[in-house]
Amino acid sequence: MCSLRRLDALLGLLALLLLAGCDAMMFDPCSPPAPVVRGDSFVIGLALIPGGNASDLAITINAESPTIGLCNQTFQNYLITKFNAQIAVFNLRVDRLQVLRIPYPDVIFPLVNATANGLRPTMTVVAFRNNINSVPAYLANGGNDTAIGGAGFVVSLALLIRFETGVLRFLQWFDLTCNDCGGSTSQLCIRQIGVNSCATPFTNCTCGGRSNCSYTDEVFDSCSTALNTGFSGTDLNSAAFRTGAQIQRLNAFSLVSLYYTAKSAVLSQYNAIYTNIASQYASLTADANAQQTEADGFNTADRLAPVVLRVTPMCKV
């Protein structure tokens, strides 16, 4: 039942990616963290919630679970039942620059499944640890909601993990802006809660006539999300963290290229024009359905699938 898999991350840094529910019990994102110093291990959870409206979700989290946030079993059950929410657990090193990769298949299949179930064409992510959570951020938008603005797959997010004397205080998205993809009114600019994110257009994320195409192919790396983490504030000994400031100095595409070395591929897409989001989303869905059949469901060998959101207890029989 329990298995542990490792993912080598960029720049010789190692991000330990724990994906099975039972491992997540050893690395429990709902346990209260001890005060940290640089280099400590630090576990966070990412809840992947398809089919939601980020603003509504933020309101719902505050209304339904104001004190313990995502670590509320009843609230989790609601997210699972209503949205088929999933969780990925990551073991970070405090104050190292790390990139958490959310592979394209982990976004596209739940996304199209959500719309097949009558939900919105969106995928959101919420970072959490114990009673602290980020606001939801879109990983994908296939709708024409004017509040969100753009459509496509978000390729780069930056999470600031803020501490005060070693105690976790906030999980906040840092604004990478849409300066690299045509500005805030661009059709590739996803307006998040408080921050903007560049997206990759749908047309670049289908097999589009390529033969022997698989969503695990490298070409789809630019449709995956690189979630960059930086630490700010101070540790247990009042020493200031440095990686948060490093994240803030970079822009969306330099962060993406840290991980994917796909900068030019991504840059070539930024001026793609959506004339009709609905029809492009429909092509994307058709392509995903074909892929899903070929892949025989959701369990291709090298795909890093998040497990269904279950936290207390993770390994209940």
Ligand X SMILES: *[C@@H]1O[C@H](CO)[C@@H](O)[C@H](O)[C@H]1NC(C)=O
CB of 175 to ligand X, least distance (A): 20
**Shorter beta-carbon distance to ligand X: residue 239 or 278:** 278
* Run of H or E residues at 189: strand 189-191
CB of 55 to ligand X, least distance (A): 4
**Shorter beta-carbon distance to ligand X: residue 55 or 177:** 55
- b (16+ CB within 10 A) / e for 202-237: bebbbbeeeeebebbeebbbbbbbbbbbbbbbbbee
Q: Which two tokens stand for residue 116?
A: 């097949």
**Residue 275 makes contact with ligand X by CB under 6 A:** no
> Which residues are bridge partners to 96 per DSSP?
none
The phi, psi pair for 27, rounded to 5°, reads: -120, 80
DSSP state of 211: T
Q: Is 158 helix (H, G, I), strand (E, B) or coil?
A: strand
Rounded-to-integer distance, Cα 215 and Cα 205, Å: 8
Cis peptide before 121 (omega within 30 of 0): no
**Shorter beta-carbon distance to ligand X: residue 288 or 314:** 288
Stretch that binds ligand X, among 9-17, 60-68, 95-103, 181-189 (CB under 6 A): 60-68
Site for ligand X in 279-308 (CB under 6 A): 298
CB of 29 to ligand X, least distance (A): 16
**Residue 67 makes contact with ligand X by CB under 6 A:** yes
Residue 172, Cβ neighbours under 10 Å: how many? 18
**Residue 315 makes contact with ligand X by CB under 6 A:** no
Size, binding site for ligand X by CB under 6 A: 31
Rounded-to-integer distance, Cα 140 and Cα 149, Å: 12
**Shorter beta-carbon distance to ligand X: residue 147 or 301:** 147
Stretch that binds ligand X, among 63-71, 99-107, 128-136, 187-195 (CB under 6 A): 63-71
**Residue 222 makes contact with ligand X by CB under 6 A:** yes
User: What sign does the CA torsion over 297, 202, 253, 29 have?
Assistant: negative
Q: Which two tokens stand for residue 147?
A: 């509040």
**Residue 251 makes contact with ligand X by CB under 6 A:** no
**Residue 72 makes contact with ligand X by CB under 6 A:** yes
Site for ligand X in 188-207 (CB under 6 A): 203-204
**Residue 217 makes contact with ligand X by CB under 6 A:** no
The contact set with ligand X (CB under 6 A) reads 53, 55-56, 59, 64-65, 67-68, 72, 74-75, 78, 84, 109-110, 113, 117, 144-145, 147, 203-204, 212, 219, 222, 265, 268-269, 272, 278, 298
